[in-house]
Structure 1
Amino acid sequence: MQVNLLNQPLRLRTGTVLRNRLAKAAMSETLGTYDNRPTEALVCLYRRWGTSGLGLIVTGNIMVDRRALGEPGNVVVEDESDLPMLKRWAQAVTAQGSALWAQLNHPGKQSTRGLNAYNIAPSAVPFREDMAAFFETPREATGAEIQDIIERFGRSAAVCKKAGFGGVQIHAARGYLVNQFLSPHHNRRDDEWGGTAEKRRRFVLAVYAEIRRQVGPDFAVAIKLNSADFQRGGFTEEESLATIRALAEAGIDLIEISGGTYEAPAMNGAMHAPKPTSTAAREAYFLDFAEKARATTQVPLMVTGGFRTAAGMNAALRTGALDVVGVARLLAIDPDAPAALLQGRDSAQQVRPISTGLKLVDRLGIMEVLWYTRQLGRMARGEAPRPRESALAAFLKSALGSGWGTFRTRRLRARAPGR
């Protein structure tokens, strides 16, 4: 029997050691309060994953600006006002031997209509026509607003470090603000922040530099980066590889490879589309790009999406193209899957495409988020996930909850404008 490579530790350049190569990738929990504070539900959920033996656990979206939410129930870290609960959240994982990293994010234009008073982006580029009813056209960010956001990323990272998190991950993928700055489709500026690929990279490099300045050299700083946007005129593989080289030179500790945006959800589409026989055995969606990235850098790479079996994960690690296997949806239906995988066994559950039967909803791919988020909510209440829950019922309940959450968020914000 071949050695289970998932069990090997990984040392990062900061000195951080991950006890194995299996990681929980970020999933949006929306378990914060409607005024965006962390909750006991997050402590419960992450303690559950902490028992599974994972080497690394990455949180879902932690927003850096209360005025810029991606969803109702996002946690926002702007200052130390929630430090006690953040410490409880971190301790729930780190006390059991896993590393916990906070995923820091700003949604930019990618926030549902009505949730925020306004949305900003690199440029005022609207969503495609069939999504315009859900997402409003953003306002172009000013130079002062851009600098403020950069500083917010650094401040949020410093608070997370003080709370006991072992690192942070910059969310520069899936169409959120950092990804928008990198994309020529979303970033049509002609100033210092856009106009050429090099200038479009300035924002992500400035965010990294500010975080590093505020947390110091011994704290893990990672990034989740698109391999490509899969959108006409968007961020390409060539630009992604150039960004990887720039981040490696700047000192990034780990790069997680992703792809797509809300308008072009690559991973969701990949789940529904049949894979060619020649690539089906490889399982991972972005393994081909990881091989190109490995030829560019020796910075540790994490690939998430498509992995189904312990054999597939080991085969991918054996290529040397990646260093960490990311798992997400599987952990929403089987939180004990890591224990099995680390023993060379497969989970009894299989991730499946989620379809409501409603063409517009299914085309948008939103159920690949909403359905799994509902399973996280069940675990956060101490209940078991429901792998066969009806997608249509989940959609209707989620839509009702999102509408109420948007209303409550706006109302609470209006009552406390200074917070």
Structure 2
Amino acid sequence: MTPSELLSRPFTLPNGSVIPNRFAKSAMSETLGSIDNHPTKELITLYRAWADGGAGLSITGNVMIDRRHIGEPQNVVVEDEADLDLLKSWARAGQGGGKQIWMQLNHPGKQSPKMLNRDPVSPSAIPFKKDLRGMFATPRALTGPEIDDIIRRFAQAAAVAKKAGFDGVQIHGAHGYLVSQFLSPHHNQRTDEWGGSAANRRRFVLSVYREIRKACGREFNVGIKLNSADFQRGGFTEDESLAVIKALVAEGIDLVEISGGNYENPAMAKGAGSEEVKASTLAREAYFLEFAEKVRELTDVPLMVTGGFRTERGMAQAIDSGATDLVGLARPLVVEPDLPVRIMAGDPVTSAVKPIKTGLRMIDDMALMEVSWYTRQIGRIARGRAPKQHDRGLLSLMEVLAVMATRGVRTRLRADSRPTF
């Protein structure tokens, strides 16, 4: 079977839901919400482009569940049905040509910058490492009632997504956000039922999943994005990740997407040119394929592996090996939104994605440009323009920082103007 034939095959989830091919657009933060965090028409244009480009499944960027706690300026927040009409249009755009679209749900926890949030929260009051403390305040530990409220908010947002016509939701349990913080023994040093043992630390994600199921039913797709590890001393390990997956499989999870890292060690954002990427990983393209094979030994749960795929042959080999069911693509679909259509037409493809470097070590080590530059290209697609396929180094960084600063100030001013109760 040729790569185009293999990658064009539909995939049926255990609940009978069909994804029309093996390409999945992984979540990337679009920051295309309004300044007061409502969805916009730009998101409709963007996801129509990705559906037209052939991705069988699109997972939205992180939709926040609490307006008081956002990760970036102009995140979309879903707390109620106030934006139902725009959400319905967003869902329909992502379903063009029989595709699926899932809403990723997230709470940033401590990964909420100072310019946006004066009261960040986390399982425990553990500060960031020294070089990030200028950007992120030390969080306060969540109370029991606050934890219960956050679990309820995840379920409420999922119910709104279902009503709007989305095909499913994905719990963001990776990259150092709140769910990931609860799972990590470094970030979660609680001594109550939400912390301590590995079983207690995974209680939060299991509670979120159960409440979403209760609100949305078994026929609605519910997946999770989970770190293979967070690559941090004293943090979440591969063995613990396998245990979480096993517990979620027992509960009936529909799809597990594998990723890794957090803001303090952003493995998810570093390009294929990173010296930290092993030669064996480069040869197979996917960063987390070896961990996926360990999951396969444990369970036959549907898997999506994201990070590193660059050629149609590498993508097809990952599917053919049985290590993954869906090929997760992020940056390749930013610079070439029609990549899946071209591959399924039989074109030989090598992604145009290349590492972005500014020459400033701290910036490059944190992979800030690997996130921000691509976010700007997402904005170009959302405005109906073609994305760029190359960067301008330091000049691009200055452009990105200027936009982020302007958005942050506007968001902070708006937050300060809201009444307090």
Short-chain TM bin: over 0.9
Offset, 1:15: 2.0
Matched residue pairs, number? 419
Matching residue of 2:250 = 249
Matching residue of 2:188 = 187
Runs of 4+ aligned residues of structure 1 deviating over 4 Å after TM superposition are: 274-277
1-structure distance, mates of 2:70, 2:280: 41
Offset, 1:173: 0.2
Q: Secondary structure of 2:309's partner?
A: coil
**CA RMSD in angstroms, aligned pairs only:** 1.5
Q: Secondary structure of 1:221's partner?
A: strand
Matching residue of 1:55 = 56
1-structure distance, mates of 2:370, 2:413: 29
**1:123-202 mapped onto 2 (5 Å cutoff):** 123-202=124-203
1-structure distance, mates of 2:275, 2:344: 29
TM-score using structure 2 length = 0.97
8 Å Cα contact 1:168-1:222 kept in structure 2? yes
8 Å Cα contact 1:270-1:285 kept in structure 2? no
Matching residue of 1:325 = 327
8 Å Cα contact 2:171-2:223 kept in structure 1? yes
Mapped pair 1:398 → 2:411: no
The amino acid across from 1:174 in the alignment is H
> What are the Cα deviations for residues 182-235 of structure 1, in whole angstroms up to 9, with x where unaligned?
000000000000000000000000000011110111100000000000000000
Q: Which of 339, 342, 350 does residue 340 from structure 1 map onto? A: 342
Offset, 1:274: 6.5
Offset, 1:10: 1.2
Q: Which of 361, 364, 380 does residue 363 from structure 2 map onto? A: 361
Matching residue of 2:2 = 2
2-structure distance, mates of 1:361, 1:208: 36
2-structure distance, mates of 1:127, 1:237: 22
TM-score using structure 1 length = 0.97
8 Å Cα contact 1:310-1:344 kept in structure 2? no
Change (3 A) 1:209 1:128: same
Change (3 A) 1:95 1:386: closer
Change (3 A) 1:357 1:302: same
Offset, 1:106: 0.4
Q: Which of 373, 376, 379 does residue 377 from structure 1 map onto? A: 379
Report % sequence identity. Answer: 57
The amino acid across from 1:236 in the alignment is T
2-structure distance, mates of 1:24, 1:287: 17
Offset, 1:386: 0.9
Matching residue of 2:416 = 414
> What are the Cα deviations for residues 363-416 of structure 1, in whole angstroms up to 9, with x where unaligned?
211111101000001111111111113132222122112122122112222333
Gaps spanning 5+ residues in structure 2: where? none
Q: Secondary structure of 1:266's partner?
A: coil
2-structure distance, mates of 1:141, 1:275: 36
**1:184-223 mapped onto 2 (5 Å cutoff):** 184-223=185-224
2-structure distance, mates of 1:36, 1:180: 24
Offset, 1:135: 1.1
> What are the Cα deviations for residues 333-378 of structure 1, in whole angstroms up to 9, with x where unaligned?
0111111122343446421111111222112111111010000011
Q: Secondary structure of 1:224's partner?
A: strand
8 Å Cα contact 2:124-2:189 kept in structure 1? yes
Gaps spanning 5+ residues in structure 1: where? none
> What are the Cα deviations for residues 227-248 of structure 1, in whole angstroms up to 9, with x where unaligned?
0000000000000000000000
Matching residue of 2:313 = 311
8 Å Cα contact 1:67-1:117 kept in structure 2? no
The amino acid across from 1:177 in the alignment is L
8 Å Cα contact 1:374-1:394 kept in structure 2? no
